[in-house]
Structure 1
Amino acid sequence: MEGIYVWMNFESLQIARAYLFGEVKYLDLMLVLNIIDIITGVIKAWKFKELRSRSAWFGYVRKMLSFLVVIVANAIDTIMDLNGVLTFATVLFYIANEGLSITENLAQIGVKIPAVITDRLHVIESDNDQKTEKEDKAAE
């Protein structure tokens, strides 16, 4: 047991984090928002009686894959010597995405969301619908 403790100390975890993710800011916030999104998603699924282990498992895998995308962005950053710009932008994208998902989950659960935020969410949703329609027409 002591061998595992010596190998898995805080310093080696920090080194692995720096190697895989670089010195990107807000990675911890991304992790916290991922966890909050999972919790609110489970509560929403439970409320609407749509809690399914298989779909939940795929959701968890997607969350883990978002960190893999950050690792790839860090590798590209390192190769192209972009000083962390791509990794930072990737993390900010996922933070914004998680924030939107949490807000949507809370609204569907029944938590009151300020009108300014819900109006903005409807604008984003309608923009996404329009883009999807254009892509569908282009594919035909």
Structure 2
Amino acid sequence: MTESFKWIIGTVGMWLSFLLGGWSQALMVLVVFMCIDFLTGILAGFYERKLSSKVGSKGLIKKIGMILIISICHFLDQILETGDMLRDGAVFFYCVNECISIIENAGRMGIKIPAVLQRAIEVLAEKEKHVSEKWEKKRRD
């Protein structure tokens, strides 16, 4: 690896850490889900013979938008002194969103989804809802 490449990767990592309030396991899971969603979208496009660079570009732009929304939540957490509540709520929300998209992509390829996976997504959605309810309670207090 060249020194300039290492420098670029380090700089990007530093900025992402700053914008997202550090690196958590939930953020790592979200990034993995985003990659899986993008890959299953490409595979579904191949499967259906409808692969489109325009659709892929839109998907990447949406994922960048999600990261920016999470960043906004992080900075709101800072000024509202809510710990990581808003950021984590957004991360859970987008994890659920990505899982649903992955399942839709799998369905486009005729892949059946195990019931246990569907239940796990429901549990994650309930966790996001719990964070939202906690935020509402804190906001009212």
The answer, yes or no, to whether TM exceeds 0.5 is yes
Larger Cα-atom Rg: 1
Distance 1:6 1:115 in 2: 43
Change (3 A) 1:24 1:81: farther
Structure 2 CA distance for aligned equivalents of residues 86 and 103 of structure 1: 26
Question: d(CA) in 1 for partners of 2:63 and 2:48?
Answer: 22
Is contact 1:40–1:105 with CA below 8 Å preserved after alignment? yes
How far apart in 1 are the matches of 2:32 and 2:88?
16
Match of residue 44 from structure 2: 44
| CA RMSD across the alignment | 2.6
The number of residue pairs the alignment matches comes to 118
- Report the CA distance between 1:9 and its aligned residue: 6.7
Who is 2:22 aligned against? 23
For 2:6 and 2:111, the matched residues in 1 are separated by 46
The structural deviation recorded for 1:24 is 5.7
Q: Percent same amino acid among aligned pairs?
A: 28
Q: Offset of 1:7 from its aligned partner?
A: 4.5
- Contiguous gaps of at least 5 residues in structure 2: 123-141
TM-score with structure 1 setting the length: 0.71
Look up the SS of the partner of 2:112 in the other structure. Answer: coil
Query: Is 1:74 equivalent to 2:74 in the alignment?
Result: yes
TM-score (norm 2): 0.71
User: In the TM superposition, what are the counterparts of 1:1-140 in structure 2 within 5 Å?
Assistant: 2=3, 4=4, 7-8=7-8, 10=10, 15-23=14-22, 25=24, 26-115=26-115, 117=118
Q: Distance in 2 between matches of 1:40 and 1:6?
A: 29
Shift, 1:17, TM fit: 3.2
Q: How far does residue 70 in structure 1 lie from its aligned partner after superposition?
A: 0.7
Whole-angstrom distance in 1 between the partners of 2:22 and 2:39: 28
Q: Per-residue displacement from partner, 1:3-57 (whole Å, max 9, x unpaired)?
A: x3684474x5554333210136311111111010001011111111221111221
Tell me: CA distance 1:49–1:19, structure 2 relative to 1, closer, same or farther (3 Å): same
